Amino acid sequence: MSDGPPQGQMYLYDNITPPLLDGSYRFNVSTDTTIDGADQNLPEATNYFNIEGPRFTLTPSLVAGVFPPRNGHGSFQDNIPHIALSRRTLPWERALDPGGLLGVPTLKAGDPPRPVGPAPWVGLLLFEENEYTILQNQKLEDVVPPDVYKRLGSPANINCDAVQTTWPILSAIMPSLDELTVLSHVRQVNKADKELSAGSGDGWFSVVMSNRAPEANAKCCACLVSLEERSDLISKDPPPDYVPIRFIEAAPHAAAPAAVARLGPGNISPGFGRGIHANPFPFQLTVSLVLLYSWKFECIGPGSFRDLMQGLDVSFFGTVANPGHPPIADTGHIQISLGDRAGVEEAAMYRSPLVPFQLTRDPLGPYHNADQCRRVTPETGAEDVTYSCAFEVGRLLAAADARLAMELMRWRREGYRQSARADAFSAVSATLPLVQPLDVHTPSIPVVATSATSSMLSGRGPAADRFGVNFIGKVIGLQPAAVQDAWQLSSPQEAIDLLGGDAGTLGANVAAPAATPRPASNIDAVAADAASLNHLSAARDRVIANTAQKLGGTP
């Protein structure tokens, strides 16, 4: 493979097939070794392996881009819908017709040579509104005919999406065998030409195109379908340009009268209309295909940008070619009616960016809302909403970008998360002395757990009044002099007798009771006390768990 095309160019390839197609394989391992004339061969071994790729579903991450864009609105009637896949070999990773049921296309005199390479197993079909029905989460055996299901290997418990249409419509738009081959190709582009890195970002894409162009003012749906083993739907030869279709209405136990119908030009675009195959299913008027990917778009507007520019009035500013069109001032502005926030109509001026003279760039940005862009320009003496309209257009385009919306939501969630962590850290710091400061960007549970364990083990320090004697003695209701004065007793002794006569409760300094002597413990004695160590370990675990729960995390 080459290093890649120069910037501004791309390389096209008919196809790129993988060394092995998707499927199950067997390989045998044997050796032929002799030592001193004696065979020393290892036992032969048989192994099996599978090569698996997309078959009945397609991961959206494999879709690098589609055109027309998803949910797009524009004049797409002159464009061929196509889908770009980020894996270059995907359309050729499976065999379309491994049994050769389709046969070899017939070449007539004057026909061009057949395209080189295998036909892809996927195809892009374009349907207009009311021509299709999308069914989700269907059993594979309910989507394909029984013989096709058997040729697919009768896989069990396979659910997939399906697109259902009528046989006349499908036969009119289904590409033939050689058409499928030329409708898929591979592109190698220069990565510097891509505004956003799509797919794998290596510049390789497989592209599948439709053989039908959308109609003007039509709502369309492009469907990437699996055509593996669908020899019942694909013709080896292209059908005639246009023939009447004849189908038989189903009637049980009786011969049904023949009915003639035509697929009108409103359903198939001019130049891309297909003939109708002979219906091999006279009693089956609907056909289903495995749907891998789909998107919708709508064709609106009078024409392409080139058509609009060719119809542009090149007269002097202020000239109105058609009555009723707004006149253009010599500055390029047109007057529009604008409803303000109070619901009052006012006149404002607007100017398109397409002007035939140099404009001065606005130096007052950046702006945070459209109202900041509103101003009165000296050119017109009236309010100018040109920059406000540009601001809103840019904001709407940014909001329509799914990737930008995801990044904005991620940024907001991260901001809220860091704010919540900062509040929790402030509360913990105020309640618990930490051994080191906390950082909102680093794990905090080990720091808090270490600080909590240190505080628990170190305690609050020695108590000055261990038994509370000095504190109780200062209580005003336990002082004999205060009691004598309050009750008008004749002597302090009466107050002492009234208070019980206990010196410890009368404010007298008493010696602390003797503590029970305990022998000094060494580290060996502590290590041997397994029960106490278990209690300490359990207490530490509870402190860490409570701290983690308070912070909203996990230990």
For residue 431, what are its two tokens?
A: 């309640």
Report d(CA 80, CA 67) in Å as an integer.
8
pLDDT above 80: residue 388: yes
Question: Is residue 308, in this structure, part of any structural domain at all?
Answer: no
The pLDDT of residue 319 is: 64
The pLDDT of residue 450 is: 65
The pLDDT of residue 259 is: 31
The pLDDT of residue 143 is: 93
Question: Is residue 534, in this structure, part of any structural domain at all?
Answer: yes
291 shares its domain with 231:
yes
Average pLDDT rounded to a whole number, residues 536-542: 83
The pLDDT of residue 493 is: 81
Give the orientation angle of helix 530-551 with respect to helix 445-458, to 10 degrees. Answer: 130
217 shares its domain with 140:
yes
Whether the bond between 280 and the residue before it is cis, its omega within 30 degrees of 0, is no
Range of the domain at 423: 405-464+520-551
Alpha-carbon dihedral angle through residues 187, 193, 196, 200, given to the nearest 10 degrees: 40
Give the 3-state secondary structure of residue 46: strand
Give the 3-state secondary structure of residue 279: coil
Question: Is residue 256, in this structure, part of any structural domain at all?
Answer: no
Give the 3-state secondary structure of residue 431: helix
Give the 3-state secondary structure of residue 321: coil
Average pLDDT rounded to a whole number, residues 338-349: 82
Question: Is residue 340, in this structure, part of any structural domain at all?
Answer: yes
Give the residue among 345, 401, 315 at the shortest CA–CA distance from 70: 401
Angle, CA of 220, 392 and 342, to the nearest 5°: 115
Nearest 5°: phi and psi at 82? -155, 160
Q: Among 299, 333, 353, give the residue marking a domain's end.
A: 299
Contact 292, 227 (CB under 8 A): no
384 shares its domain with 526:
no
377 shares its domain with 450:
no
- The structural domain count of the chain equals 4
Report d(CA 497, CA 476) in Å as an integer.
16
pLDDT above 70: residue 255: no
Average pLDDT rounded to a whole number, residues 13-18: 91
74 shares its domain with 161:
yes
pLDDT above 90: residue 520: no
329 shares its domain with 199:
no
412 shares its domain with 349:
no
The pLDDT of residue 336 is: 85
The pLDDT of residue 14 is: 92
The pLDDT of residue 467 is: 58
The pLDDT of residue 288 is: 94
157 shares its domain with 293:
yes
Report d(CA 139, CA 123) in Å as an integer.
21
Mean per-residue pLDDT over the chain, rounded = 78
The pLDDT of residue 316 is: 66
Question: Is residue 458, in this structure, part of any structural domain at all?
Answer: yes
Neighbour tally for 144: CB within 10 Å: 24
82 shares its domain with 231:
yes
pLDDT above 70: residue 211: yes
The pLDDT of residue 473 is: 63
Q: Among 349, 376, 399, give the residue marking a domain's end.
A: 399
Going by pLDDT thresholds of 50, 70 and 90, the confidence category of residue 197 is very low
pLDDT above 80: residue 206: yes
Average pLDDT rounded to a whole number, residues 61-73: 91
For the stretch 394-450, pLDDT in tens is 888 888 877 787 888 888 888 888 888 778 777 777 766 665 666 656 666 666 666
CA 527, 531, 537, 540 dihedral sign is negative
Helices and strands (H, E) in the chain, number of each type? 13, 21
178 shares its domain with 196:
yes
Average pLDDT rounded to a whole number, residues 199-226: 88
What type of residue sits at position 372?
Q
For the stretch 109-167, pLDDT in tens is 877 788 888 999 999 999 999 899 999 999 999 999 999 999 999 999 999 999 999 98
- Give the global pTM: 0.54
For the stretch 257-288, pLDDT in tens is 333 333 333 333 333 334 333 444 444 488 99
For the stretch 454-504, pLDDT in tens is 665 565 555 556 556 666 666 767 777 888 887 778 888 888 777 776 655
Give the 3-state secondary structure of residue 69: coil
486 shares its domain with 540:
no
DSSP string, 171-228: HHH---HHHHHHTEEEEEE-GGG-SS--TTSSSEEEEEEBS-PPPTT-EEEEEEEE-T
The pLDDT of residue 445 is: 64
Q: For residues 508 and 212, which has the higher predicted lDDT (pLDDT)?
A: 212
Report d(CA 88, CA 200) in Å as an integer.
10
The pLDDT of residue 253 is: 35
Give the number of C-alpha atoms closer than 13 A to the C-alpha of residue 447, restricted to the C-beta side.
Answer: 16
CA 127, 130, 135, 136 dihedral sign is positive
Q: For residues 320 and 175, which has the higher predicted lDDT (pLDDT)?
A: 175
Question: Is residue 276, in this structure, part of any structural domain at all?
Answer: no
pLDDT above 90: residue 58: yes
Report d(CA 182, CA 105) in Å as an integer.
14
Average pLDDT rounded to a whole number, residues 24-46: 85
293 shares its domain with 319:
no
Going by pLDDT thresholds of 50, 70 and 90, the confidence category of residue 248 is very low
Question: Is residue 257, in this structure, part of any structural domain at all?
Answer: no
CA 439, 441, 447, 452 dihedral sign is positive
Question: Is residue 55, in this structure, part of any structural domain at all?
Answer: no
Least confident span in 11-20, 49-58, 204-213, 238-247: 238-247
The pLDDT of residue 221 is: 96
For the stretch 285-330, pLDDT in tens is 889 999 999 999 999 876 667 777 777 766 666 666 666 666 777 7
Report d(CA 101, CA 123) in Å as an integer.
18
Average pLDDT rounded to a whole number, residues 331-347: 82
pLDDT above 60: residue 195: no
